[in-house]
Amino acid sequence: MIFLLLIYALIIIIIVPGLIKRNEWRELAVFSILYIIAFVLGLMYVLDIPIPSPMHGLQRLIVDVLGIKYPMQ
Amino acid sequence: MSIEKGKISSLQLLFLIAGFVQGSGLLIDFTVGITEHQTWMVVLAGLAVTTPFFLSYVVLAKRFPGMNLVQINDMVYGRVLGKVISIYYIFFFLMTLSFNIRDVGELYITFLMPDTPFIFLLAVFTATCAYAVAKGIEVLARVSHLFVFTSIFAIISTFILLIDQMDFSNFLPFFEVPFMRIFQGIHIVSVIPFGETIIFLVIMGYLNNTGHAVKNTFIGLLIGGLSLFIISVTDTAVLGRTQTIWTSPSFQSIRLIDIGTVLTRMDFLIGIAQTVLIFFKCSLFFYTLAVSVSQLFGLKSYLPVILPLAGIEVIVAATVFQSPVDHAMITQNTGIIYSVPLIYIFPPLSLMIAKIRDLPKVERSKGT
């Protein structure tokens, strides 16, 4: 947990001052969105909260709903 | 305005493509369980099937010089539909990169460093890729020939060192595997790794001269394809029918190297060579992902998104599959089916629409 917080604090220290200095607000906004997603995922992983897999969702859609699959060998 | 300042030559592109395909040396294992001793045929057939589509990527890139995949989609399909298709591509890049990062983790956990925490391996590997991506495509392109020669050396030396254990009757009988399984095998190989070369539609925009692009990219694909062919031949000749029971047949065959009980345990060295190659492949995928995301949001540079994307990739790689079996099962079905439009439909369709609408010329004349 502490390791995660340290890494994410370090990322802010490395990236954000440069973006503010160069007035790159759009870059800062996109960075912030991705940063929050990454941090939340990291936090969920550290706290053992189950993270849904996009591939399992996709499998349900393609195999179970649409019925597209190769026959079992 | 381009978000990448660097330029690459078409010779460097040749090595980038060859190294990228060779980086999937361990991934033909997905096919082995299905096509057994006929995997070598499937590799060749997969190469033949993908080649026309691959050439359509190159022709598309030549038609839109200096533009990447997201820009091409915007121009061909319009801003809204183009963005939707680009998001589909970005999802593909994100997921495929996480699979490849996970492959490295699984390789190390299974064979090389079983006591190391899985997430630590993923984090270190992804951080290394992020560092390479931050250096830009020019740096990756400049060292690409080293990766290709390392791979060729590893593949040929493995083949030579295993010759005494090879039994070429393992290839018989021909055409024993049912057609449906061969078809699925060809589908897997034509997506992983040949179809994954779709990422070069992002990279080819930075070619300084598209003159010999078609020839050089095709040679690159051929070098990569032949490398995979040699790996599949080695695995079948050495392991025979037992290759289907191993988690990683290519790694298992390397473990059998034993020259006079002196030259043994080569798996660690080959494991390092494989890691270097997967690193190269993952770096190219990561670069493509970072550039595509930045282009989608209209950023001036892709550098600010690298570290957050790396954080996302590590967690997605750690959680996307529950086990190596789950990994193989999903990749052999859903993984190859959802990527069909991205690899086989959109690029030729874009090319057709561009030809009908005479797109680059129209855009150029609008600009002048």
**Degrees to nearest 5, angle at CA A44 with A43 and A45:** 90
Q: Which of A27, A42, A44 sits opposite B301 (nearest CB)?
A: A27
Average pLDDT rounded to a whole number, residues B171-192:
88
- From chain B, the residues in CB contact with A56 under 8 A are 330
Average pLDDT rounded to a whole number, residues B25-36:
80
Q: What are the pLDDT digits (tens) for B312-346?
A: 999 999 999 988 888 888 888 888 999 999 999 99
Q: B88-92: long-range contacts at Cβ-Cβ below 8 A with a sequence spacing of 24 or more?
A: B88/B341, B88/B342, B89/B198, B89/B292, B89/B342, B90/B289, B90/B292, B90/B293, B90/B296, B91/A54, B92/B338, B92/B339, B92/B342
Q: What is the pLDDT of residue B162?
A: 86
Would the CA dihedral through B17, B130, B276, B193 be positive or negative? negative
Is the pLDDT higher at B260 or at B340? B340
3-state DSSP call for residue A26?
Answer: helix
pTM for the whole thing? 0.93
Residue A4 pLDDT greater than 60, yes or no: yes
Q: What are the pLDDT digits (tens) for B69-125?
A: 999 999 999 999 999 999 999 999 999 999 999 989 988 888 888 899 999 999 999
Contact A11 B305 (CB under 8 A): no
Domain presence at residue A32: yes
Q: What is the pLDDT of residue B368?
A: 40
Q: Which domain holds residue A15?
A: 2-65
Q: B223-226: long-range contacts at Cβ-Cβ below 8 A with a sequence spacing of 24 or more?
A: B223/B14, B223/B18, B223/B21, B223/B22, B223/B148, B223/B152, B224/B17, B224/B18, B224/B19, B224/B20, B224/B21, B224/B22, B224/B24, B224/B193, B225/B21, B225/B43, B225/B44, B225/B47, B225/B194
Domain presence at residue A34: yes
Q: What whole-number distance in Å separates Cα of residue B188 and Cα of residue B55?
A: 19
Domain presence at residue A21: yes
- From chain B, the residues in CB contact with A17 under 8 A are none
Q: What is the pLDDT of residue B58?
A: 92
Instruction: Using pLDDT thresholds of 50, 70 and 90, give the confidence band for residue B305.
Output: very high
Contact A24 B298 (CB under 8 A): no
Q: What are the pLDDT digits (tens) for A20-72?
A: 999 999 999 999 999 999 999 999 999 999 999 999 999 999 988 888 888 86
Domain presence at residue A54: yes
Q: Which residues contact B32 (CB under 8 A, 6 or more apart)?
A: B39, B232, B235, B243, B244, B249
Contact A30 B332 (CB under 8 A): no
Q: Which of B297, B308, B332 sits opposite A26 (nearest CB)?
A: B297
Domain residue extents for chain B: 10-350
Best probe of the B interface among A59, A60, A65, A72, by most B CBs < 10 A, is A59
Q: How far is B136 from chain A (nearest CA, A)?
A: 17
Average pLDDT rounded to a whole number, residues B178-197:
90
Q: How far is A4 from chain B (nearest CA, A)?
A: 10
Domain presence at residue A71: no
Average pLDDT rounded to a whole number, residues B6-20:
91
- From chain B, the residues in CB contact with A14 under 8 A are 307
Instruction: Using pLDDT thresholds of 50, 70 and 90, give the confidence band for residue B365.
Output: low
Contact B300 A28 (CB under 8 A): no
Share of chain B above pLDDT 90, in %: 54
Q: Which of B119, B184, B301 sits opposite A70 (nearest CB)?
A: B184
Phi, psi (rounded to 5 degrees) for B333: -120, -80
The highest-level CATH class for domain B10-350 is mainly alpha
Residue B287 pLDDT greater than 80, yes or no: yes
Q: Does A12 touch chain B (CB under 8 A)?
A: no
Identity of the residue numbered B52: P
Task: Name the residue in chain B with its Cα closest to that of A40.
Answer: B312
Instruction: Using pLDDT thresholds of 50, 70 and 90, give the confidence band for residue B15.
Output: very high
Contact B319 A34 (CB under 8 A): no
Q: What is the pLDDT of residue B328?
A: 85
Number of domains in chain A: 1
Instruction: Using pLDDT thresholds of 50, 70 and 90, give the confidence band for residue B367.
Output: very low
Query: Residue B347: is the preceding peptide bond cis (ω within 30°)?
Result: no
What would the two tokens of residue B293 be?
């995301």
Residue B193 pLDDT greater than 60, yes or no: yes
Q: What is the pLDDT of residue B361?
A: 66
Q: How far is A44 from chain B (nearest CA, A)?
A: 9
Q: What is the pLDDT of residue B362?
A: 57
Q: What whole-number distance in Å separates Cα of residue A11 and Cα of residue A8?
A: 5
Would the CA dihedral through B212, B213, B218, B219 be positive or negative? positive
Nearest residue to B221 (alpha-carbon basis) of B363, B24, B62: B24
Beta bridge partners of B207: B8
Q: Does A27 touch chain B (CB under 8 A)?
A: yes
Q: What whole-number distance in Å separates Cα of residue B322 and Cα of residue B288?
A: 27
Task: Name the residue in chain B with its Cα closest to that of A58.
Answer: B334
